[in-house]
Copies of this chain bind each other. A is one copy, B any other.
Amino acid sequence: MADLASPQTGTPVDPANWTCPAPIRDQPVVVMGHGGGGALSAELVHDVFAAAYGNPVLAGMGDSAVLHLGGVRLAFSTDSHVVRPLFFPGGSLGDLAVNGTVNDLAMSGARPACLSAAFVLEEGTELAVVDRVAQAMGAAAEAAGVTVVTGDTKVVESGHGDGVYVTTAGIGLVPEGVDIRPQRARPGDAVIVSGPIGLHGIAVLSVREGLEFGAEVTSDTAPLADLVAAMLDVTRDIHVLRDPTRGGLAASLNEIARASGTGVKLYERSLPVPEAVANACGFLGLDPLYVANEGRLVAFVPPAHADAVLAAMQAHPQGTGAAIVGECVAEHPGMVVVATGLGGTRVVDLPLGEQLPRIC
């Protein structure tokens, strides 16, 4: 298991012939890394789910599916939320359940409209805890401008759950002329991050493990649809949006590089890593590029619009810390590299599993 949890496999990716270093077919059972949003997750989706019920929309591999139905373009997405503990500095399972799906919809440019909420409750859980989760969902839904219109509740015996699991799905409307998906990254695109990275993962880890890193680290969980709308007011021609949750910025950028057949080059000195996150990562041996965010996005924007989009982001409450952190390049297709402060470059692999399980 130690290998699966390591942030990097240590070997450079050969993008032309990439294979998982530990194919799941060789592992007869589910391991934590299958839920990590990295290579093991991708193999599970490819070998099991896509093999069983694959189709072109599912194969699009965006944060949400975009489909035509009854003459309108809808975004549709789902996430199960199993974060532990349920409450952490800056948020709770309820916030993630709403913001996670709202943000997945926003990453296709959609205006989120409504959510479903399905609960799997563990027998013996205090109802006051369920109530706190529901209240957080209500407040988060109001803040995000969405309504929860349908739901379900199941109860499992004590020892078969973990208090509360919540699965949300959501529907949004994609505006005319918007076509945002990982395949559209192009060499020359500016890579913009909307703010400081790594806060959510470190916040959850600190309370779970009882660690302190000087200043308290607070999760960045937040809805991003309004920020995306402000960006689309500048130009509809945004190529890619992604919220770097599990697997962090490293996983999101690797997925985009592979889907588009381009390369990504990051500037290490431009990456907005808060001091407390850097300290915690140093102490724990983690790489901030692999730590989860729940209120950040990464955008690929054509160079002609990059400065204007950046300015619109910085003028928005959810984007005050936005920065251009890299560029899309034609070299090393399918691969992400970072130009270090010392003048060298290093490869940023797709993570295999997950450094921090059950982070969302």
A162 within 8 A of partner (CB): yes
Binds B, one of A116-124, A207-215, A224-232: A116-124
Distance, CA A15 to CA B235, complexed state (A): 58
Residue of A31, A80, A117, A135 most packed against chain B (CB within 10 A)? A80
Distance, CA A153 to CA B120, complexed state (A): 15
Residues of B within 8 A of A73 (CB): 70
Binds B, one of A45-53, A179-187, A268-276, A323-331: A45-53
A345 within 8 A of partner (CB): no
Decide: B34 and A171 in contact? CB cutoff 8 A. Answer: no
Within the complex, the shortest CB–CB distance from A121 to chain B, in Å, comes to 5
Decide: B30 and A357 in contact? CB cutoff 8 A. Answer: no
Residues of B within 8 A of A135 (CB): 52
Decide: B126 and A171 in contact? CB cutoff 8 A. Answer: no
Q: A28-B127, A74-B69 are in contact. Are A52 and B156 (CB under 8 A)?
A: no
Task: Give A23-39 as 1s and 0s: 1 = Cβ < 8 Å from B's Cβ atoms.
Answer: 01101111111111000
Decide: A53 and B155 in contact? CB cutoff 8 A. Answer: no
Please, which residue of chain B has its CB at the minimum distance from the CB of A66?
A: B149
The A interface is mostly helix, strand or loop, or mixed, namely mixed
Copies of the chain in the assembly = 2
Within the complex, the shortest CB–CB distance from A1 to chain B, in Å, comes to 10
Please, which residue of chain B has its CB at the minimum distance from the CB of A33?
A: B155
Task: Give A138-166 as 1s and 0s: 1 = Cβ < 8 Å from B's Cβ atoms.
Answer: 10011000011111111111011110010
Within the complex, the shortest CB–CB distance from A283 to chain B, in Å, comes to 24
Residues of B within 8 A of A55 (CB): 147-149
Residues of B within 8 A of A357 (CB): 155, 157
In the complex, which of the residues B35, B113, B126 contacts A154, with contact meaning CB atoms closer than 8 Å?
B35
Decide: B76 and A130 in contact? CB cutoff 8 A. Answer: no
A interface bracket (residues with beta carbon within 8 Å of B):
35 or more
Please, which residue of chain B has its CB at the minimum distance from the CB of A72?
A: B70
A304 within 8 A of partner (CB): no
Decide: A154 and B80 in contact? CB cutoff 8 A. Answer: yes
Decide: A147 and B53 in contact? CB cutoff 8 A. Answer: yes
Residues of B within 8 A of A79 (CB): 118, 152
Residues of B within 8 A of A58 (CB): 147-151
In the complex, which of the residues B48, B78, B165 contacts A127, with contact meaning CB atoms closer than 8 Å?
B48
Decide: B52 and A127 in contact? CB cutoff 8 A. Answer: no
A21 within 8 A of partner (CB): no
Distance, CA A57 to CA B148, complexed state (A): 8
Decide: A116 and B148 in contact? CB cutoff 8 A. Answer: no
Decide: A30 and B123 in contact? CB cutoff 8 A. Answer: yes
Distance, CA A125 to CA B122, complexed state (A): 19
Those 6 A-B pairs whose CB atoms lie nearest each other, nearest first: A35-B155, A169-B169, A70-B72, A52-B134, A78-B116, A53-B138
